[in-house]
Structure 1
């Protein structure tokens, strides 16, 4: 609060060695404020923003600068400020146009309280895939679902793709924003993603997501953050000090209105909301009670399966060795009173559509809230690989999921 930190330096120099006139040294950039986790306590989250920036690293001998270089100081390697998002989106889009010609379109879907753009990127195999979904598939879903189901089963409907939405709403839960950007880059530029997952027997196994094959079945909607002002000010709430993840029912804030309009426009099949920070890696679907207006019998089985696929990928490619699904922890506790959960067995209910992921379920989405433990690169990777597993799950079961 007073900005009078007097603890030990968090940037240190060690192992200084001079050989034939060349100086070698290790420079270690640690975490400030005597913490090993910038996500806790919450007070530290806005504090680190005052330290971010590009600084001049100088070597000085007898008062004379003999060498210098710029050093960018961020909480972790892939952290982006809000102002860095759009230039990187544009650069990736231009590179993809030269490399593989995948369809990528970024628009502003609305403005924040302070007037910043909320960006949405659509990434697909081609424009025709998106046009068919918007002009044919989505209207048919809403107006005559029984006929659409019959036409898909008979083959009369032909080729179609379904949308997967990656979202962040609390931008001080920073890894969510950067995981979405990292994943967008992979989907835009790479041919495939190979990553570890965990088999039912507990052993790791390699799996590959062929991106061109996936784009024959799905397309992506990336909203890097619903809350641009929060990214700028390193806050959970928007500039009106309102938690947008409590506003999806009433839609009192401009950011919420912009995002919920798009959820209604696209009816994503899978909706992944990137959050933090739970002490363990947590993936919703939620614990009971459930809202009677959500068609749970059509969603829950696949939501649990998809959550498991995301969790296994998240822990297999990071330092984390545990994830939990509140719905499953609640079920196990209800079935066995002696069961001791390492995770959360209650309190993550979806009784309210105030939460963005729960709101998306009203539009037919398998809505998930993903909570990582830390604000660092490992938590960013956990969300990144969870997204890959979610896409692979949807692409592999597209028809079964979409008919529901």
Structure 2
């Protein structure tokens, strides 16, 4: 129990704290990005204020003690804390420590189990990491907690597109146009970006090439072969339909940056003979023949909530035939408008490297026999490049594997 005199001392100390509040410092850190899929340790330091004892320092993240940031175990966040502090020292008035962000899901693969791709949305964000003593924040700094370095949220997407577009305007004269082609169930924009060498190429395709494709393809083929049609470019559409398979969205955004800004793109591949090879793509030359249509995700609500389905809990990858959802109708309208020569849908979080141009179930009204040869050829080219640039050593094309087993 406290005596009356003790209470007087405590009250006086509290008044002194009010009279002489500690000025909050910027916490100096070796890094400000923590990953859900990579264990990282940051070195932190700040000047220890006079009168503050090092032993009284406590740490919080988003105003919560680090002990409350628990790992996910047995269906809930009940495991040990994944944010810890170690090696706390004071030298010449400078307080230093190591802050470690471990793996909250115990894995570097957010697809184990697949449910975690939905769960990580509850953790990610940018919060203040703070050193606190006697109820006062001594030093703090923002730390972004993200699935991985290149992860981009839905809210960051349009600002990111705008930054790249502005950079391209200063660096080259490529034509870049971003619009909203529709709204999600919850009213979010479905962003659609065109990247071309110039606007004239896009205009010719829309006003001349595409109508000729639809109305008289035989004549168009003859005109192209004879040279009378002149120069033209055709669209390649790059899409994502499962936004909880996050690498698909991020890969599209990163590729958009490359096509918008880079002079060339170089990557490894393997020739049909098995010999390793390197491909260097001159972007300006490529844009003489193709232009790109980017739909970073046609499920904005799913990206915002890190879910597979849209806000109606509908898997849009099962809606292409009947088009019951607003997102599907908006995207299908644009597909009909552009008739892309190649349509690539990027997924992610798969144990194996699946690159499948014709996964069942199939709509019987779609004539796969007219497309499958070119689709498989593209799949093989991308698969060989994929295994040459990643840790994978094999890629799966179930259509081809099934044919070999028949």
Regarding TM over 0.5, the answer is: yes
Take 1:64 and 1:210, find their aligned partners in 2: how far apart are those partners? 57
- Aligned positions of 1:1-400 closer than 5 A: 5-13=77-85, 27-59=99-131, 67-286=139-358, 293-334=365-406
Take 2:306 and 2:228, find their aligned partners in 1: how far apart are those partners? 50
Take 2:172 and 2:227, find their aligned partners in 1: how far apart are those partners? 29
Take 2:326 and 2:271, find their aligned partners in 1: how far apart are those partners? 44
Cα deviation, residue 122, structure 1: 0.6
**Residues 287 and 330 in structure 1, CA contact (< 8 A), matched pair in contact too:** no
* CA offsets 1:203-225 (integer angstroms, 9 cap, x no match): 43221111111101100000011
**Residues 110 and 349 in structure 2, CA contact (< 8 A), matched pair in contact too:** no
Aligned residue for 1:282, secondary structure, equals: coil
* CA offsets 1:129-187 (integer angstroms, 9 cap, x no match): 00000000000000011110000000000000011101011111111111110100111
Take 1:14 and 1:157, find their aligned partners in 2: how far apart are those partners? 70
Cα deviation, residue 276, structure 1: 3.1
Residues 26 and 302 (structure 1), Cα distance of their counterparts in 2 relative to 1, 3 Å cut: farther
Which structure has the larger Rg over C-alpha atoms? 2
Unaligned runs of 5+ in 2: 1-71
**Residues 7 and 34 in structure 1, CA contact (< 8 A), matched pair in contact too:** no
Cα deviation, residue 52, structure 1: 0.9
Higher relative contact order structure (alpha carbons within 8 Å, sequence separation ≥ 6): 1
Take 2:369 and 2:81, find their aligned partners in 1: how far apart are those partners? 55
Aligned residue for 1:239, secondary structure, equals: coil
Cα deviation, residue 6, structure 1: 2.2
Take 2:325 and 2:170, find their aligned partners in 1: how far apart are those partners? 39
**Residues 212 and 220 in structure 2, CA contact (< 8 A), matched pair in contact too:** yes
Q: With structure 1 as the length reference, what TM-score do the two structures score?
A: 0.76
Cα deviation, residue 264, structure 1: 0.5
**Residues 181 and 224 in structure 1, CA contact (< 8 A), matched pair in contact too:** yes
Aligned residue for 1:85, secondary structure, equals: helix
Take 1:301 and 1:240, find their aligned partners in 2: how far apart are those partners? 36
Aligned residue for 1:205, secondary structure, equals: strand
Residues 292 and 63 (structure 1), Cα distance of their counterparts in 2 relative to 1, 3 Å cut: closer
* CA offsets 1:96-140 (integer angstroms, 9 cap, x no match): 011101100011101111111111001100000000000000000
Cα deviation, residue 58, structure 1: 3.5
Residues 290 and 3 (structure 1), Cα distance of their counterparts in 2 relative to 1, 3 Å cut: closer
Cα deviation, residue 202, structure 1: 3.5
Unaligned runs of 5+ in 1: 335-404
**Residues 12 and 27 in structure 1, CA contact (< 8 A), matched pair in contact too:** yes
Take 1:177 and 1:287, find their aligned partners in 2: how far apart are those partners? 20
State the superposition RMSD in angstroms. 2.5
Take 2:252 and 2:385, find their aligned partners in 1: how far apart are those partners? 16
Take 1:287 and 1:220, find their aligned partners in 2: how far apart are those partners? 24
Is the deviation greater in 183-192 or in 38-47?
Answer: 38-47
